[in-house]
Structure formats: structure tokens, C-alpha cells
Amino acid sequence: MNIAIIGYGRMGKTIERIAQTRGHHIVHIHNGGPMDLEALKAADVAIEFTQPEAAAENIAALLTHGIPVVSGTTGWLEHKASMDALAEQHKVGFLHASNFSLGVNLFFVMNEKLAAMMHAYPEFKPGIHEIHHTGKKDAPSGTAITAAEGVLQAYKELKGWTMNEDDQALRITADRLDPYFGTHEVHYTSDIDTITFTHEAKSRDGFALGAVMAAEWLPGKAGSFGMRDVLNL
Ligand SMILES: NC(=O)c1ccc[n+]([C@@H]2O[C@H](COP(=O)([O-])OP(=O)(O)OC[C@H]3O[C@@H](n4cnc5c(N)ncnc54)[C@H](OP(=O)(O)O)[C@@H]3O)[C@@H](O)[C@H]2O)c1
């Protein structure tokens, strides 16, 4: 398959390596500046891992020109609904995931089941903690937000998530430390003990492999998708 890489940073370089080991060709790399839409015509699919302020513009340009997009950039989701609409309008595939690794997607499913069980025990209060490397620009992570949304499906009395102290909402805390590729912990704390449920990434390879698998799956499909569609979870 011919792949274009949009964003040639830590993730873009890892995706290039993993895609090549799976026999794909990297036909174009875009790392800022004006997009070369002529060169992008050679791509069956584009994989976009850039920065929160760049993602929506990149994705909109690609979808408008009929190029399927796999995007992993986090911190820009206020524009996601308009990207979903563009994918529908242009009958092209768009797949965004806050986290592409198989392990984290299993963690998301287990997190929802655990929250449904724990909600019956009000002495335990839920909370989320995430740790990433110091180069990460957004906080909390997109993965922590997805985990929070999973908890909130069971804890409907809470008013969304917050990074502040607020008993009425689900608290997310974040640390930026090196070297951390992404650690996410959902904890349930009572006055006498704490239960923790954790996913810890050991490298970026799991994210990159999931993104390449999504790129193999997406071409030929129209509309907006997530990693649960790819993994059939
Ligand atoms: N979904 C997942 O599984 C997952 C996993 C890991 C990371 N992420 C997310 O993926 C994103 C990228 O992470 P990273 O660690 O690779 O960041 P990074 O190392 O900072 O790489 C981002 C790259 O995008 C480039 N860039 C900036 N503006 C651009 C534009 N308008 N068009 C194209 N490229 C542009 C940057 O170039 P300059 O350096 O020259 O500005 C940089 O090379 C972040 O949002 C991160 O949270 C998601």
C-alpha cells in the first residue's frame, strides 16, 4: 500500500519504520508548510500525527481531496464533528483514535465493565491519573479523556471530567516525566483502600502498529470510524 505520513516527529518516524516492515511504501512525507496535494495523489491513505493546532486543517484538506485519513493527534477534538461531516460529504474514510494500541483498546473495554461494577459501591470514588514524556503538549491525554468517558457512562451523576478539585466531577490528574510513553491508571479510592487498574506503554511501537493496521483497513470505506471498528471490539 502507498502511505503518506503527515507529521514526521516521534510518531511519524515510528510509523514509517513499522509500515516499511509490513511491506508498505511511504510515498510522501509532509511536516508543515503548504501541503503538496499533487504528491499526495499517489497515496492510498494518509496517517496524521501532528500537533493539536495543525490537525483539523490537515485532515480537512486531505478529506476534501478524497484521501482517506488515519489520525492520532490529540487535543483538537472540538473540531472532530466537522471532520466526521466532511468524511460523510466526500464519501471517504476518516478514522481517529485517541490511542491506537491493542492493549489500550482492550483497557478501554475493560474500564467500562469495571466502572459499571464499581458504581454499585459508593464508598469507592473513581479518578484517573496519566503520565507522559515532557514533550507532550496537551494535558490530559486523549487516552485519559476516553478512559474518563468510559467511567462516566456508569457514573452519570458526575458532571463530566475535570482537572480541578471538584467532588461533582471525575478528576483527571497528569504528570509529565521522562521517559514515559504513556501510563494510564483508573483508580477507585475508599477511606481504607485503593484499587488501581493500569495500562503502561513500553514504547511507541504499539501506537504505530495500530495506526498502520487502521491504514490497511480504511481505504474503500466511507464515513467516520474508530479503533473498535478495526479491532472488532
Ligand atoms: N493516538 C495515539 O495512539 C497517539 C500515540 C502517541 C502520540 N499521539 C499524539 O500524536 C501527536 C504527535 O505526537 P508526536 O510525539 O509524534 O509529536 P512530535 O514529535 O512533536 O511530532 C509532531 C510533528 O508534526 C509536525 N508538524 C507540526 N505542524 C505540522 C503541520 N501543520 N503539518 C504537518 N506536520 C506538522 C512537527 O514538526 P515541527 O517539529 O517542525 O513543528 C513534528 O515533526 C500528538 O498529538 C500526540 O499526543 C497519539
Show the 3-state SS of the chain. Answer: CEEEEECCCHHHHHHHHHHHHCCCEEEEEECCCCCCHHHHCCCCEEEECCCHHHHHHHHHHHHHCCCCEEECCCCCHHHHHHHHHHHHHHCCEEEECCCCCHHHHHHHHHHHHHHHHHCCCCCCEEEEEEEECCCCCCCCCHHHHHHHHHHHHHCCCCCCEECCCCCCCEEEEEEECCCCCCEEEEEEECCCCEEEEEEECCCCHHHHHHHHHHHHHCCCCCEEECHHHHHCC
Report pLDDT for 47.
98
Quick check: is 132 catalytic?
A: yes
Report pLDDT for 222.
98
Q: How far is the CA of 123 from the centre of ligand 1 (A)?
A: 41
CA 76 to chain centre: 11
Residue 154 region by backbone torsions, left for phi larger than 0, else alpha for psi between -120 and 50, else beta: alpha
Grid cell, residue 217, equals 483497513
Report pLDDT for 27.
98
Report pLDDT for 169.
98
Residues with CB under 6 A from ligand 1: 6-12, 30-32, 49-52, 54, 58, 72-75, 97-100, 136, 207
Report pLDDT for 211.
98
Quick check: is 80 catalytic?
A: no
Q: Which residue positions in the chain have pLDDT lower than 50?
A: none
What the chain holds in terms of domains, given with CATH numbers, is 2-100+205-231 (3.40.50.720), 102-200 (3.30.360.10)
Residue 85 neighbours by CB distance under 10 Å: 13
Mutate to test the pocket of ligand 1, among 50, 70, 146, 225 (most ligand atoms within 8 A of CB): 50
Catalytic residue among 136, 156, 159, 199: 136
Is the CB of residue 225 less than 8 Å from the CB of residue 233?
Answer: no
Q: Whose CA is nearest to atom 37 of ligand 1?
A: 31
Report pLDDT for 190.
98
Catalytic residue among 96, 132, 184, 199: 132
For the chain, what is the mean pLDDT?
97
Report pLDDT for 69.
98
